[in-house]
A and B are shown apart, each in its own frame.
Chain A
Amino acid sequence: MDSLVLDIAHLLAGGLVLASFMMLYQDRLNALLNVFALHAAILALAVAWQAYIQNAPHLYLTAGIALVFKALVIPLALYRIVRQLGIHREVETVVGIGPTMLAGMALVALSLVLMLRVTPGADYIAREDLAFALSVILLGLLMMVTRRNAVSQVVGFMSLENGLVLAATGARGMPLVVEISVAFSILIAFIVIGVFLFRIRERFDTVDVGALDRFRGDRG
């Protein structure tokens, strides 16, 4: 029984890494948002399962927040934005998918080696969670770096935050206040970015952040 419990925790945390990789693979915005919703849903499940294992009811709240906001509200809002901006058919071709995924693989290997080096004595499940969480964070960063479209950068940022939540739940005893404030700061960040998207769009007729470069003053 016990081993099954741990196995499921492992499966969910690993599923989060897998979902991060699936996001790297997507090149269409709608598909990306679908995967992002899946990412958040897996996170909610993983957190809920941690709540069950650690017998920590406040984590259920965290899971609920993740499910409601990140798996439903934010993706739906992003769908709306994408539709309103009329970029739902946009295909991203900044760096090829193959090299990006290769880089992602290297990042996962890096985070595994790092975590295994740093935490030799730690509890197995916490150690594994930390390794997975670090991978998710790095993959989110990679996503932000390799994408040109502002919407996918937002998604990368959100998935990075999911990794933070996973790390926080793995490390037992994170206060609820912190979690709630993190969740709300993310929400606010999302709103700000959403407003910005429309402003960028109004000004430059595109949400390709590459277009912004041309308007930088310091380029001689």
Chain B
Amino acid sequence: MNAALGLLVQALHLALILAIAPLLTGFVRKVRARLLRRKGAPVLQPYRDLARLLRKEVVLAENASWLFRVTPYLIFSATWAAAALVPTFAAGLPFSWLADLIAIVALLGSARFFLALAGMDVGTSFGGIGASREVMIAALAEPAMLVIVFTLALIAGATQLSTVAAFMSSSEVGLRVSLGMALIALVIVAIAENGRIPVDNPDTHLELTMVHEAMVLEYSGRHLAMIEYASALKLLLYMSLIGCVFVPWGLAAPGAGLEAYAIGLAAYLGKLAVGGVLLAVFETAIAKMRVFRVPDFLGAALMLALLGTLLLFVTRTR
């Protein structure tokens, strides 16, 4: 009975993240537009975009290989799997034991690996420029992310997100400067990984600055839809990650009752809304930086995370 309920909630969770990922993207876009005093596209526009792209035919470049055609689906499902491993409204779901935070980061790494390859498949300079910049950014973002994981693991004694979330919502945590540093570093990494301003601009096609859009320039139709969906899922993943580690309140414990799930769901949606607004405000307040300034930005995240780890050792052991 309990196992069946767990699986049911798990299925709900899988469907939920699939359902609300485009909503979050649309919401952030809308808030940004309002902040710029534009009216902006409706919040539901990403769904319409996806539906439109799915119906359209695919135009493949002449020498695109099988890799180019398979990659969108691989990226989509790898990102979906990674996003499903992050607790959203409930912790300790059956699926969440499949991988810890390190494996989640690595799964996103797999998705990026294939996307970068797909960017190089057609053999135009656009794809190459995007792929080479993407791997440069990843080469800095991934170590930063892993050191953040170290900090969290040293505090919570685990890399399993459900355990971390449970520890973070207990009274044992306290205020720690290391946690603050980890949070700042994680936000920087999340911005870089999702290609948001100031690292990359998801709305531009200006070749001097773009990274992600350059890689996917040759994609169209259903393939593009899958990739856009994966980007939306990735944004949702990082929001959920920050939510479940740093503001874990409201997360339903394993095997909790229905009302706990309802509270968890409401809290989760609230967290997403707050996170979306904050992201939009941040993006409107800051200017895009030059590509070769990005390493400093990400290097700062790496240093912050390392500093957080080091400072943990002087705090009292509980």
B-binding residues in A (CB < 8 A): 3-4, 6-8, 10-11, 13-15, 17-18, 21, 25, 96-98, 101-102, 104-105, 108-109, 112, 115-116, 124, 127-128, 131-132
Contacts and interface: CB of A to CB of B under 8 A. Distances in A.
B299 to A, nearest CB: 5
Q: Which 7 A-B pairs have the closest CB atoms?
A: A14-B177, A7-B175, A7-B174, A101-B303, A97-B296, A98-B299, A128-B314
A191 B177 CA distance: 34
Nearest to B302: A101
B299 A4 contact: no
B9 to A, nearest CB: 35
A116 to B, nearest CB: 7
Contact of B310 (A15, A98, A108): A108
B316 A124 contact: yes
B304 interface: yes
A10 B310 contact: no
B299 A11 contact: no
Among B176, B178, B295, B314, which residue has the most Cβ atoms of chain A within 10 A? B314
Q: Is the interface of B mostly helix, strand, loop or mixed?
A: helix
Nearest to B315: A10
Interface in B289-318: 295-296, 299-300, 303-304, 306-307, 310-311, 313-316
A109 to B, nearest CB: 6
B181 interface: yes
Q: Chain B contact residues (Cβ within 8 angstroms of A): what range?
A: 20 to 34
A108 B305 CA distance: 13
B42 interface: no
Contacts of B270: none
Given A14-B180, A15-B177, A25-B296, 17 more contacts: A3-B174, A4-B175, A8-B175, A10-B175, A11-B176, A17-B307, A17-B311, A18-B177, A18-B304, A21-B304, A97-B296, A97-B299, A98-B296, A112-B311, A116-B314, A127-B314, A131-B314
A18 B299 contact: no
A107 B306 CA distance: 12
B177 A104 contact: no
Contacts of A128: 314-316
A17 B295 CA distance: 22
Nearest to B179: A11
A98 B295 contact: yes
A14 B311 contact: yes
Contacts of A7: 174-176
B177 A115 contact: no
Contacts of A116: 313-314
A15 to B, nearest CB: 6
Contacts of A104: 303
B296 A105 contact: no
Contacts of A131: 314
Nearest to A125: B316
Contacts of A15: 177, 180
Nearest to B296: A97
Contact of A115 (B176, B296, B314): B314
